[in-house]
Structure formats: structure tokens, C-alpha cells
Amino acid sequence: MMHDVIVIGGGISGLATAYDLMRRGLDVQLLERQVRTGGNAISEGFDGFLMEHGPTTFNASVPQAVEQIDALGLLDQAHDLGPDVKRRYLRDDGKLTGIAATPMGFFTSNYLTLRGRARILAEGLIPRHKGCEETIHAFTARRFGREFADKVMDPMAAGIFMGDSTELSISGAFPKLAEMEQALGSITRGVLRAKRGSEPGRHLYSWDGGIGTIPQVLTRHLGARVHTGITVFGLSKTEQGFAVKTSNGTRNACAVVLAVQPHVAAQLLERVDPVGASATGAIQTPTVNVGFFGYRREQVAHPLDGLGFLSTKDDGCILSGSQFASTMYPHRAPDGFVAISAYAGGVRNPELARVSGIDMAAQMHAELAEVLGIKGDPVVTRFRRWPLGLPQYTLGHAARQKLFFETPKRVEGLYLTGNYTNGVSVANCIKSALDIAGEVAVNLPVSTGASGLAQRAMR
């Protein structure tokens, strides 16, 4: 049987792609190697607690993604950040500093020196950069000063990407900042303009059941189009489209969307698109360790009145950051208890991949206890190691990105999407998936069957 589209990979990217193709009336089938869909968007409930093994928020600043969430019936059920999220915390030299979550927060806090704060004010006087691609650190040091780059942007890069700001590309990791500089000549002006014009768009949402709610609902809508426990061994180009060799036989489709991790994409592309295989194979995905800890509220001295904290590079410390999960959203801990997540590893501490899970969780708890004033052992502990973590948007990502998007030019009917192509957040993954689904629908040959009639109706 010849299908219109086969989507390989059942994470949020693959599910969102398949769902949009289904809504367009196409005959789409989704293949997932694991026995469950969702990829790393796993939300686990136990004993009244809820742990996010992977992503924790949905950023409402991406309109296309919000539209799909609304189409799924999830927007009305979404929770915004809790009212007790009042500060952002940064840890430097072992000390935690709370900064008010306002535009003037950095100026009213003594986290940065007077000289560092004055240098931020001069950002609007810095000329546009006309040279080659810059790292996050080089970009922010040039525009805001070295202290801001070291003590604010480097912790942010470690927290969002588990990466190193001296290696990550500003245009790849934070393209809006690079675009603001070129369009307006100042990041400060761009941020102030955005605050005036789009305040409602910056909400961070989640649900009672966590981010895992999104893939669950997508999977339910797709129904029998989803096939789990299916391993894909290879692709080959045929006269009609593609033959997909799987652990359950060969399936055929006019088009194929690869929504898998970059190393898997590299393996599947090796024979049909060596250029794409080289580009995807170059993406680094260092190991990430996630710890989840539940405590009685009286055990924790810290007010936990923020999203959590991010850490500067500090010898002897392993945590890149932490989230105060029960402050962020409801239903993360029972009454009288709090839930805290902790993150370590990535580019900053690759050696932690060799530490056992039990030892890793113990080290995480010990560091949290020191920073947050926690007495006694946690009442619950969970640990997750992702051997292949977040993709690193290092220098050269713009060139690789161009190769990703040009895949169908090299191999007609073949497309790539995922968190390594155009943003690691859940919302960006959904937007990228919708973009790819639109390309597939426009370029797919119209058949004479039922799905072909539906295509004509949707175009």
C-alpha cells in the first residue's frame, strides 16, 4: 500500500507534523521505535508529585504553536506561572542572588557591580556587528559587557541548552537577539518595544498533567495512524516515492518526514542524502542528568519564590540550574510539600555521564541542600539520565540549518524536523513541524484516490 506520508519519530515534532497532515486530509502514518510516544516529553505522577523528565514549559510567544494547542482543546486548560514566581535567582561563587522579575531587576540588585550595570546602559550606543557569526558570549560581551556575558548569559546558555556560551551561536540559539541588533541597532530598544506590544505572548504554560499532556492528546487524535514499537532500519528512493524498511516489513509512501534525533537522522540519510547525513551527524547532544526531589515545606529554608536558579561556572559545583516546580505550577506536590528539579551535565560537565544514578542524585540533593538551606533527606527522589540530551547550536549552525531545509531539493519528498533544526523549545518544535507539514502538503503529488481528493480540497 502506498501512503501519502510516513512520519518517522513519535516525539512532539513528529506528532505535531502528523496531526497537521491529518487535518489537511492526507493519508499519514507515524512510526515510533519506543512503545510510547512523546519522546523526552515525559510527565510522571507519583505519590501526589509530578516530575517532568524533559521539557517543563510551553512558551506562548510562538503564535503558530499556540494555535495548534488551541485546536487540540488545550489552551483553556493551560496554567500560567504561579503568583509566587517573583524573582529569578542566579548563583555565582556559591552565593544565590534574587533578582526581581522586572525590567529594572538587574539595576536594583547588587548581583552585578556598579560598573557592570552602567555598561548595560550603554548597550544602545554599540554599533551593529557586520562581521562573521558570533558566539552567545562574544555577542553579549560586545553589546552588554563581559560581566553580563559571564554572570547572566553563560548561566542562561547552560540552563536552556546545557551548553557553553563560548561555543553556542547567537544566531542559532537566540536568533531574535541577533535580528533585533540588525533591525533596530539595539537589544534594549527591541526588548522595550516587545514589552509594549506583545506582553500577553510571553506566558509560560503547562497543564495539570504536565507537558506530557501535549503528546498524549496528539496521539489520541491520530489514533490508528500511530504505530509504536516499530524500528526503522533504512530508507530507499523509489520511482513512486520511498520504501521504508522496518522491523514490521516495508512500508511505502510518496513522502517521508524524519522527526528523529540528529544521530538517527544521520544514519537514515546516509544512503539517500549524504550531505544531510553529514549535517545532522555534526550536531552534538551531550548527556543530561535530571533529578527530582520532594521535601516537606518546613525542610526548606529558602522561600522558593521564583522559577528556580541558574549557575555560573563554579569549581566544585555540578548543577547548571534548578527549577522550583511546585512554585511554577499547581499539582506538582501535595499540600505541605514542595518539588524541586535539578539539572547537571551537558557540555559543562560531560564527565558526569559516568557517575551512577544513585550517586548523581545524592550529589544533586547535597548541592540543593547547601544552596537552599534544606535539612534532612528528601521524601521522594527520582532520577533520569538522557544519554543524548539537547542539541548544541554551535558556530556553523546557520550553515547546517540551510542544509536541513534544502533536504527536499536534494531528495524530492524527504523532509527533516526536530529540536535540532530551528529551536529546542516545545513551542518551536511545534512551529517547525507545522512549517514542514505545510511544505509537504504543497509539494506532494496529488493522487487520484480518496486522499488525493482531500488534498485538492485543502489546497
The answer, yes or no, to whether residue 455 has pLDDT greater than 90, is no
Q: Which of 386, 401, 436 is a domain's end point?
A: 386
Q: Which residues pair with 237 in a beta bridge?
A: 242
Domain co-membership, 300 together with 366 = yes
Q: Is 59 left (phi over 0), alpha (psi -120 to 50) or beta?
A: beta
Note whether residue 297 is domain-resident: yes
* CA-wise closest residue to 28 among 291, 293, 266, 222: 222
pTM, whole model, 2 decimals? 0.93
Query: Are 298 and 354 in a shared domain?
Result: yes
Confidence category of residue 199, pLDDT binned at 50, 70, 90: very low
Is 68 inside a domain boundary? no
Mark whether 292 and 382 lie in a shared domain: yes
Residues 264 and 404 in one domain: yes
- Among residues of the chain, what percentage have pLDDT more than 70? 95
Task: Write down which residue in 159, 177, 198 finishes a domain.
Answer: 198
- Assess whether pLDDT exceeds 60 at residue 458: no
**Domain holding 332: CATH number?**
3.90.660.20
Domain ends where: 198, 224, 239?
Answer: 198
* Residue-wise DSSP of 48-114: TEEEESS---EETT-HHHHHHHHHTT-GGG-BPPPTT--EEEEEETTEEEEEESSTTHHHHSSSS-H
pLDDT tens digits along 320-355: 999 999 999 999 999 999 999 999 999 999 999 999
- Please check whether residue 57 lies inside any domain of the structure: no
The single residue listed with the C-alpha cell 504554560 is 205
Residue 13, domain CATH:
3.50.50.60
Q: What is the pLDDT of residue 192?
A: 76
The residue-averaged pLDDT of 377-383 equals 98
In a 3-state reduction of DSSP, which class is residue 37?
A: coil
Structural domain of residue 332, as residue ranges?
286-386
pLDDT at 222: 98
Asked whether residue 280 falls in the same domain as residue 405, the answer is yes
* Tens digit of each residue's pLDDT (9 = 90 or more) over 391-428: 999 999 999 999 999 999 999 999 999 999 999 999 99
pLDDT at 448: 38
Element (H, E) at 158: helix 154-161
Buried b / exposed e across 80-100, counting CB within 10 Å, b at 16+? Answer: ebbeebebbbbbbeeebbbbe
For residues 294 and 380, membership in a common domain is answered with yes
Where residue 165 sits, what CATH number does that domain have? 1.10.3110.10
Q: Count structural domains, the chain.
A: 3
Query: Residues 348, 162: contact at Cβ < 8 Å?
Result: yes
According to the model, what pLDDT value does residue 130 have?
85
Do 278 and 420 share a domain, yes or no? yes
Indicate whether 14 pLDDT > 80.
yes
> Does residue 64 lie within any of the structural domains?
no
pLDDT at 104: 83
Q: Does 117 reside within a domain?
A: yes
Same domain, 305 and 251: no
Do 309 and 180 lie in a common domain?
no
pLDDT digit string (tens) for 247-276? 999 999 999 999 999 999 999 999 999 999
What does the pLDDT read at residue 131?
A: 82
User: Stretch 282-302: mean pLDDT, rounded?
Assistant: 98
Question: What per-residue confidence (pLDDT) applies to 447?
Answer: 53
Is the domain of 401 the same as that of 272?
Answer: yes
Q: Are residues 170 and 123 in the same domain?
A: yes
pLDDT at res. 449: 39
Q: Are residues 302 and 168 in the same domain?
A: no
Place of cell 522550583: 324
Q: Give me the chain's average pLDDT, please.
A: 93
Q: Is residue 268 part of a domain?
A: yes
Question: Is 100 a member of any domain?
Answer: no
Q: What is the pLDDT of residues 82-125, one digit of tens each?
A: 999 999 999 998 899 999 988 788 888 999 999 999 999 999 99
- The answer to whether residue 255 is domain-embedded is yes
d(CA 357, CA 371): 21
